[in-house]
Amino acid sequence: MITHVDNVDVLPGVGPKRLDALHELGIFTIEDLIGYFPFRYEDLGERLPSETLDGDKVTFKGVVSTPPVVTRFGKKNQTRFGLLIEHENIRVTFFNQPWLAQNIDAGQEVAIYGTYNAAKAALTGMKMINASTDALDPIYPSSKQITAKTIRHLITLAWVDARGTIASLVPENIRTKYRLLDRNTQIEYMHFPVDMAAAKAARRSAAFEEFFVFQMRLQLLKLADQNFAGEGINYDATAIRNFEASLPFKLTPAQTKVVSEILQDQTRPRHMNRLLQGDVGSGKTVVAALAMYAVVTAGMQAAIMAPTEILAQQHALSLTQLFDHAGLTLRVELLTSGLKVAARRQILEDLENGDIDILVGTHALLQPDVAFHHLGLAVIDEQHRFGVNQRAALRENGVNPDILAMTATPIPRTLSITAYGEMDVSVIDQLPNGRKVIKTTRMGHNQLDNAIAFVKKQIDAGAQAYIVTPLIEESESLDVQNATAMYETMQLAFPQYTVGLLHGRLSNDEKKTLMADFKANRIQILVATTVIEVGVDVPNATVMLILDADRFGLAQLHQLRGRVGRGSRQSYTMLIADPKTDYGTARLDAMVETTDGFILAQRDLELRGSGDILGTKQSGVPEFVVGDPIKDLTMMEIAQQEAITLVSQENWDQQVANQTLVDYLSRTMAHYRHFD
Ligand code: ADP
Ligand code: MG
C-alpha cells in the first residue's frame, strides 16, 4: 500500500524520465503529488456572459445560434458562429481551426472555453469541450516534459491508496473555529470536486493551511532566535548615557523609545532581529550609532552596510564626527569596492585583529574574506534596497550577530507579516522638533525661470540647493548628458556661486570630494542624477528642484524630497513637469498633498493597482501556491494570530493533537529556503 511519505516512483508508470519531470515541478513524494493542486477548473456550470468580466478565461455552455462561417486570408483563417447562452447571444471566433466548422451546426449544444471580450460580446475560442459532462475538470500546471493529463492520472492513482490516510495539519480547534475542511476532504475536493462550491471550500482551506504552516515556520524561527544560547551584550550603560548627552542635539522621545527597545534586546542572551522603521529625516542614523557604540563598549565590533558608496562614505564621516564630538576614540573604517588592494588588505587585517571598532561599507562587507574579530551587531541601512538574502547572508557570516535593519519605507501589512514576519519592529513616529513641513509645489517647464529665481533667493539667504535631472531608464549616458547640460545652464545663471555636478560615472573619490564640498558649503548648487536619492544628509540645503519629476516613482520622489528639510530652515521641493499620463499627474498631486511617507506608500499601492504591489518579487513577499497574501491578507493575519497562540502554549509540540503538524514541520523545515 502506498502512503503519503513514499517517493512518487512507487506509482506504476513513473520511470526515470517522468520522475525527472515530476522533480522539476517540485514533486518528490506522494504527499507532494497530492498536494499539487489544479490552478483552475473547466467549469461547465451555468455562467452568463453578463456575469463575466472583460478578459476572463471562461467556458460558456449554450446553443449554436448561427451556423459557422469560415473566412480565409492567406494561410490564416477564422471560424465564426453565434452562441446563445440562455437569453444572451455572443459571437464566437476560432482562429486556424477550420475543421471545427464540420463538427458544429446551428441548434447544437456546445461548451467552449476561451477569452471573453465584454465590449464586443465576443469569445475568442481556445477549446471545444464535450458539453455532456457535468463534472468540473481540474487543470494542472504542467510542463513540456509532462502533461496536465498525466499529472491528473498519477494523482488519481495515488489517491486510491492515500485517500483516508491523510491527517490534518491545522489543529482541529482552529478548523472548527474557521469552518475549514479536514485535510483529507480538502485534498479530495481540490482534485475531484463535485461542484464549484466544493472546489472553493477546498481552496479556502488549502490557502489557510498554507498560510498557517508558513506562519508556524516564522514563529519557530523566532523561537530559535530567542532560545539561541548566545551571549547577551554587557554594555557600559554610563558610557552610553555620556555619549547620548554629548550629541549635538537632544533625542526625540521616539528616538529614545527605540534606543531603549534596541538596548534591551541587545542585553538578552538571544539574537536581536529587529527592523527600525522611520520616515526620511526621522533620525535613524544616530539610533544606529548608539546601538553600535553599545556593542563597542562591550568589547565587540559593529558593522553598518549601506546601499550606495556615497551613503557609506557619509556614514563613515558622520559617525566619526559624532564620536569625535563626544571625545571618544573609536576606530571607524570604510570598506568599499573602490579601495586599493594594499589599503583593503590592511583594513581586513586590522578588522580580524579587533583593531577596528566599526566597519562601514556597501555590500562589499558581505564578501567571504571579510572576517571580524568579534562582530556583535550588523546594521543594514535602507533595508528595502537589499533583499532578504542579504539579511540572511549577514547572519550567516559565521558569527551570527544581532541584526538591526533600518528603512524609511513604511511597511504595508502584507510585508510586515510575510517578508519581515520573523523580525521585531521598532518605529520612530515623529520628526525632530523644530522641523518645518517641507513646502511642495509643482509647475510646468514654462515656469522654470521662476523656479530658478526662487533658488537664487534661497542661496542669497545662505542656503543651498539640489537640482535633480530626469531619469532616463534606458540610458545612463543620457542621464549624464542631461545633468551636464543643466550644470552648464546653472553655471551661467549663477556666476557668483559654485555649482557642482554629481553623477554615477564619476569615480568614488570624485563623488566623495563633491559631497564633502557641498556639505561644507563650498558648493552652493549641486546638480545631480538620482545618485543622491537615498540617505544624503546636508541640513543647510533647503531647495530640491526636480526636473521632469513625472519620470520618477512616488517612493523615489519622497526619498528625494527627504534630502531637504533636515535643518531648522523652511525647505521647499519644486516638481517641474508636464505629465503626459494620468498616473504621472496623480503621483505629483499626491506629493503636493502630503509629506507623510505612510500615506504616500498607501497611495502608491492604490495607484499601481494590485497587479504590481511594490513589485512583489523584489519586495520579498514570498510566493504561495494556493493563497494570495495580498488579496487574502485578513486570512494571513488570522493564520499568524493562530500560530502565535499555538506556540505560546506550553508543550504545544508534545500534544497528540499537534503531532501531524510537528512531524510535517520537522520533515519540511530543511527544504524551507526562504530565510535560511
Ligand atoms: P534618516 O532617518 O532619514 O536616516 P538621519 O539619521 O540622516 O535621518 O537624520 C536626519 C538629520 O536630522 C541629520 O542631520 C541628523 O543629524 C538630524 N537629527 C537626528 N536626530 C535629531 C534630533 N533628535 N534633533 C535634531 N536633529 C536630529
Ligand atoms: Mg538614513
Pocket test for ligand 1, best of 259, 286, 536, 538 (most atoms within 8 A of CB): 286
- Four-CA torsion 418, 421, 426, 429, nearest 10 degrees: 20
Beta-strand relationship, 541-547 and 464-468: parallel
What values do phi and psi take at 36, rounded to 5? -90, 100
209 touches 294 (CB < 8 A): no
**Cβ neighbours around 71 below 10 Å, total:** 11
Q: Compute φ and ψ for 441, nearest 5 degrees.
A: -130, 160
Q: Is residue 157 part of a domain?
A: no
Question: Considering only CA atoms, which residue is closest to atom 15 of ligand 1?
Answer: 283
Residues 430 and 447 in one domain: no
Encode pLDDT of 644-658 as tens digits: 999 999 999 999 999
pLDDT tier, 94 (very low <50, low <70, confident <90, very high otherwise): very high
Domain boundary among 88, 117, 134: 134
250 CA: nearest ligand 1 atom: 23
So what's the pLDDT on residue 672? 36
The alpha carbon of 286 and the centre of ligand 1 are apart by a number of angstroms equal to 7
Structural domain includes residue 461: yes
Q: Are residues 428 and 286 in the same domain?
A: yes
In this structure, are residues 276 and 426 in contact, taking their beta carbons and an 8 Å threshold? yes
Q: Are residue 667 and residue 541 in the same domain, yes or no? A: no
Same domain, 536 and 632: no
Mean pLDDT of 253-272: 91
83 φ, ψ to 5°? -135, 125
β-bridge partners, 573: 440, 544
Q: Are residues 421 and 460 in the same domain?
A: no
The answer to whether position 490 is within a domain reads yes
Find the domain containing 51 and state its range.
45-134
Q: Residue 468 — φ and ψ, nearest 5°? A: -105, 130
More confident: 40 or 593: 593
Kindly state whether residues 639 and 529 are assigned to the same domain. no
Per-residue pLDDT at 616: 42
pTM (whole model) above 0.75: no
pLDDT in the model for residue 528: 93
CB-based contact 360:311 (threshold 8 Å) = no
In this structure, of 33-47, 72-86, 410-424, the range with the lowest mean pLDDT score is 410-424
Per-residue pLDDT, 91:
95
Residue-level pLDDT at 673? 32
By DSSP bridging, strand 332-335 and strand 358-361 are parallel
Cα separation, 341 vs 61, in Å, equals: 72
Cα–Cα distance, 22 to 32 (Å, whole number): 10
d(CA 273, CA 629): 23
Burial 396-431 (b: 16+ CB within 10 A, else e): ebebebbbbbbbbbbbbebbbbbbbbbbeebbbebb
* pLDDT for the residue 255: 97
Instruction: Tell me, in angstroms, the distance from the centre of ligand 2 to residue 285's CA.
Output: 6
pLDDT of residue 415: 65
* 505 neighbors 476 (Cβ within 8 angstroms): yes
| pLDDT > 90 fraction of the chain, expressed in percent and rounded | 48
- What are the pLDDT digits (tens) for 141-188? 888 889 888 999 999 999 988 888 889 999 999 999 999 999 999 999
- Reply yes or no on whether the pLDDT at 531 is more than 80: no
- Confidence (pLDDT) at 619: 47
Same domain? 470 vs 548? yes
pLDDT at 560: 92
Strand pairing partners for 301? 375
Which residue's CA is the nearest one to ligand 1's atom 18? 283
The CATH number that applies at residue 125 is: 2.40.50.140
Q: How confident is the model at residue 75 (pLDDT cuts 50, 70, 90)?
A: confident
Distance 293 CA to ligand 2 centre (A): 17
* pLDDT greater than 90 at residue 310: no
Residues 6+ apart with CB under 8 A from 597: 279, 280, 408, 409, 410, 558
- Name the average pLDDT for the chain: 86
Of the pLDDT bands very low, low, confident and very high (cuts 50, 70, 90), residue 66 is very high
The ligand minimizing its distance to the Cα of 279 is 1
Instruction: Give the domain CATH number at 552.
Output: 3.40.50.300
> In the structure, which protein residues have their CB atom closer than 6 angstroms to any atom of ligand 1?
249-252, 255, 278, 280-286, 408, 432, 537, 539, 566
- For the chain, how many structural domains are there in total? 3
For residues 90-117, average pLDDT: 87
Instruction: Return the DSSP state at 367.
Output: S
Are 431 and 464 in a shared domain? Answer: no
Q: Are 570 and 439 in contact (CB under 8 A)?
A: yes
Residue 190 resides in a domain: no
Q: Are 530 and 556 in contact (CB under 8 A)?
A: yes
Long-range contacts of the stretch 630-635 (C-beta < 8 A, 24+): 630/414, 632/207, 632/211, 633/413, 633/414, 635/207, 635/208, 635/211
Say how far apart CA 256 and CA 260 lie, in whole Å: 6
Across 286-300, 326-340, 380-394, 477-491, the highest mean pLDDT is recorded for 286-300
Q: Which amino acid is at 602?
A: Q
Query: Does residue 148 lie in a domain region?
Result: no
| Tens-place pLDDT, residues 395-449 | 555 557 888 999 887 666 666 676 666 678 898 988 888 788 999 999 999 999 9
Same domain membership, residue 478 and residue 411: no
- Examine the domain organization and report whether 470 and 538 are in the same domain: yes
Record the cell numbers describing residue 557, joined without a space.
Answer: 520622489
Q: Report percent pLDDT > 70 for the chain.
A: 89
For a ligand 1 pocket test, name from 243, 244, 285, 381 the mutation site with the most ligand atoms within 8 angstroms of its C-beta.
285
Sign of CA dihedral 555, 560, 561, 565: positive
Query: Would residue 668 count as lying in a domain?
Result: yes
Distance, in Å, from the CA atom of 270 to the CA atom of 424, rounded to the nearest integer, reads 13
